[in-house]
Amino acid sequence: MPRRVSFRVLPLVLAAGLLAAAASAAEPGVVIKLATLLPQGSAWHTALLEMGERWRQASAGRVTLRIYPGGVAGDDGDVVRKMRLKTLDAGLLTAAGFGDIDRSIFALELPMGFDSYDELDFVLSKMEPMLESVYAEKGFVVLGWADAGWVRFFSKSPVRTPDDLKALKLFTWAGDDPAVQLWRSAGFNPVPLPSTEISTALQTGLVSALPTTPQAALLLQWYNNAKYMADVKWAVLLGGLVVTKSAWDEVPADARQALRDAARETARKLGSLTREAESSNIDAMVKHGLTVVPVTGPALEAWHRAAESAYPRLRGGFVPAEAFDEALKFRDEYRKGRQGKASR
């Protein structure tokens, strides 16, 4: 027979249930803590805020995105370390951050390896499943890929050729010893630092040149102390939205696809914002004192030789050989198809 509940106990049971329901309603559900170097108030930061609102609506309030912008959580290496420690859950990372997890992404960052965004987009579309699988094996879920535009060399004195750059102190990401050794073996003078120290390093002369994008140089005001930009497209700075698998597993299963779709659309929007603003970003810096150093003819050929001469050292050492080979295979496939169309 079922047990009878005493009328004296019943009010206590009901009160306990009401308190539990109230506590549950007050809980924020799943909170995803995401860090980024993007400055607060920028169009890119606004796009992330919009994504957070879409996540809230798609999950019926069960998922909250909490954003830490402007490098307050440190640079990409710090963010990845904190994700592993579970003090952060997600990041909008550059390739440097992804490289701290697995270096396969650097296959899409080969210096002078790609001629256009269309070429890079084609290669990424082919390699996307493999890359996402690689990062999943390391405990990270890639929610979307984005890029920050073409990397150029910003410097305190004019740089036209690789030899000009070799005379300067070149910023490199702290903790990326393979990159430091690669630059050094090619005759450059790398200075490894956290990206959060670039402004101070430029002001004090600790570094006198850095490879970065016009977007970053403008948003973070680095060009104020690096008034020259060599107009050579060294590589596209790739990145993306990534979350730890443990945090993603906490997201209600019925909401994950909607959240992933919103993240992919946001990543595409971030890339589009960057590409559309590239020329205007350069124009804005020129109006405030930046000098664009043209790189054409023999000078451009010198950059191509310098880049391609490093490929044997890049393959297998800096970039996993399989990813390196795949990237060049798909790039050549794209170029062959483009040549075929042109000959028709």
Residues 258-285, mean pLDDT to the nearest whole number: 95
By the 8 A CB rule, do 273 and 43 touch? yes
CB-based burial label for 4 (10 Å; 0-12, 13-18, 19+): exposed
Return the bridge partners of 239, or none.
94, 146
Give the count of beta carbons closer than 10 Å to the beta carbon of residue 81: 14
| Residue 9, pLDDT above cutoff 50 | no
Tens-digit pLDDT profile for residues 13-29: 333 343 333 333 334 59
pLDDT per position as a tens digit, 77-124: 999 999 999 999 999 999 999 999 999 999 999 999 999 999 999 999
Q: Tens digit of pLDDT for each residue in 72-81? A: 999 999 999 9
Q: What angle, 0 to 180 degrees and rounded to 10, lies between the N-to-C axes of helices 321-342 and 117-137?
A: 150
Q: 340: pLDDT confidence band, cut at 50, 70 and 90?
A: low
pLDDT of residue 198: 95
Is residue 230 within 8 Å of 159, Cβ to Cβ? yes
Residue 3 exposed, middle or buried by CB count within 10 Å (0-12, 13-18, 19+): exposed
> Model confidence over 288-328: pLDDT tens digits?
999 999 999 999 999 999 999 999 999 998 999 999 999 99
Name 137's Cβ contacts closer than 8 Å, sequence gap at least 6.
none
- Per-domain boundaries in the chain: 27-342
Say yes or no to pLDDT of 284 above 90: yes
Q: Which residues pair with 319 in a beta bridge?
A: 315
How many Cα neighbours within 13 Å face the side chain of 208? 13
pLDDT (tens digit per residue) in 38-67:
889 988 999 999 999 999 999 999 999 999
Q: Tell me what pLDDT residue 19 has.
A: 35
Predicted TM-score (pTM) of this structure: 0.85
Average pLDDT, the chain: 90
* Lookup result for tokens 């994008």: 213
d(CA 213, CA 157): 17
Query: pLDDT digit string (tens) for 211-231?
Result: 999 999 998 999 999 999 999
Closest C-alpha to 151, from 74, 239, 68: 239
CB neighbourhood size of 295 (10 A): 20
**Could you give the dihedral angle defined by the CA atoms of residues 155, 161, 165 and 167, in that order, rounded to the nearest 10 degrees?**
-120
CA–CA separation, 141 and 144 (whole Å): 9
Q: Which residues pair with 91 in a beta bridge?
A: 35, 242
Calculate what percentage of the chain has a pLDDT beyond 90.
83
Q: Which CATH number fits domain 27-342: 3.40.50.300, 3.20.20.100, 3.90.79.10, 3.40.190.170?
A: 3.40.190.170
**Secondary structure of the chain in HEC code, one letter for each residue:** CCCCCCCCCHHHHHHHHHHHHHHHHHCCCEEEEEEECCCCCCHHHHHHHHHHHHHHHHCCCCEEEEEECCCCCCCHHHHHHHHHCCCCCEEEEEHHHHHHHCHHHHHHHCCCCCCCHHHHHHHHHHHHHHHHHHHHHCCEEEEEEEEEEEEEEEECCCCCCHHHHHCCEEEEECCCHHHHHHHHHCCCEEEEECHHHHHHHHHHCCCCEEEECHHHHHHCCHHHHCCEEEEEEEEEEEEEEEEEHHHHHHCCHHHHHHHHHHHHHHHHHHHHHHHHHHHHHHHHHHHCCCEEEECCHHHHHHHHHHHHHCHHHHECCCECHHHHHHHHHHHHHHHHHHHHHHCC
